[in-house]
Amino acid sequence: MTKQYYNLLTKTGKSKLTNAALLGGALKLTKIKVGDGGADEGKETFPSESTTRLVRERWAGNLTNLYIDPHNKNWVVAEAIIPVDVGGFYVTEFGLYDEQGDLICIGKYPSTYKPLIPQGNGTANSLFLKVILQVANASNIDLKVDLSIAMASREYVDENFVSKSGGIFYGDIGVAGEIYTGINHDKRVYHEGHKPTKFDVGLGNLPNVKSDAISDNSSDKLATVKAVKKVYDKVVKHENAINPYPQYSMPPGMIISIPAVKPPEGFLKADGAIVHRSDYPALWAFAQSSGNLATIENKKEAGMFGPGDGSTTFSLPDLRGEFIRGWDEERGVDRERALGSWQCATHIPHDDDGKHLHTYSDRNSALSHGAELPLLPLKDIEQVFVERPSTGKAILQSTLHAASVRPRNIALLYCIKY
């Protein structure tokens, strides 16, 4: 479907923009021209990139404003005003020109009549033109406008000046060009000759001095709604963060025990479960740097992290039903232990042990320390053998049962921080 109204870069415009991009320069747009399409009543035109001029030019003027659209960095907005003393024609076409006078952009404009003052209702009629030019890189277009010949648009005035009661106009602090910076206490405008200058301002005591700054601690300025909104947004963003107060929280990988069947928020059960790395990136990062990550999942120790499937998952330490012991780390109290390794129970002698001997009568067999025999069926208990000075071999076995290798205890749920 053919576009009803549009603008496009001419071949010359494309070439100049390309050169500006390659050579690191900038294309400077300076003028806009409008035409009526070759007919007094306004004729529809269909410009193309091969077009080099308007069908019939009716007015040419300087651009009054040139800027990048705040919502689209690839849109360059050009503005101009056809003054009140020009008119009596229709506008159906327009073109943007650079400082060499070359046509850079050509466009089809909705048929609009520009009257002269006598042709209207007696009021001044100017025509505001606004052209949006889409380019690949707006930085290749010089956005400077000659302010000595530019005419301010209504929008520019509204944005930069504020009307106060009593008909006094003044600019906010920091208006470009420093035309105004405020009003004095008695609200009188001071002039130097015929040129407007800065007002005499008793800075520090003005009730109307406002600021968008959120880091200013001055007691002589008032925070704007914009400044308050900035602070509010920062607080909300902070409070909604996964970890808003890191200095008061536990790091990933920390183990806690709680008297509950479910882990608290921010924790997982330390039950050996396989979880996705993408779901718990901080815990996975900790596992990789902990020195306690097994290389093969089905051969890992209970207190270690496992590699899972090797690409998308990993497994947690399994602390269910286990006592926790400090890692020896070459101290020599609990020798030959690896971090996260599991250790079986040992016999704890006490006065109530009913000791007795089991004789191993096969003289052709050697019985060495640590041998496993069917005579000792105790599960997960390290078996201690004693050699007797007799013709045979004897094993000392107590009446020990499973309960004699653990102290009194309370079952709690071990959890790990993610």
257-310 confidence digits (pLDDT tens): 999 999 999 999 999 999 999 999 999 999 999 999 999 988 888 899 999 999
The whole-number pLDDT of residue 204 equals: 45
CA distances for 370 relative to 387, 395, 404, angstroms: 11, 11, 20
85-141 confidence digits (pLDDT tens): 899 999 999 999 999 999 999 999 999 999 887 655 555 578 899 988 888 776 767
Gap between the Cα atoms of 32 and 14, Å rounded: 17
The string of DSSP letters for 198-256 reads -----TTS-TT-EE--SS---SSSEE-HHHHHHHHHHHHHHHTSSSS-GGGSPPTT-EE
The whole-number pLDDT of residue 408 equals: 87
pLDDT beneath 50, residues of the chain: 1, 162-168, 170-205, 353, 355-366, 369-403
pTM of the model: 0.38
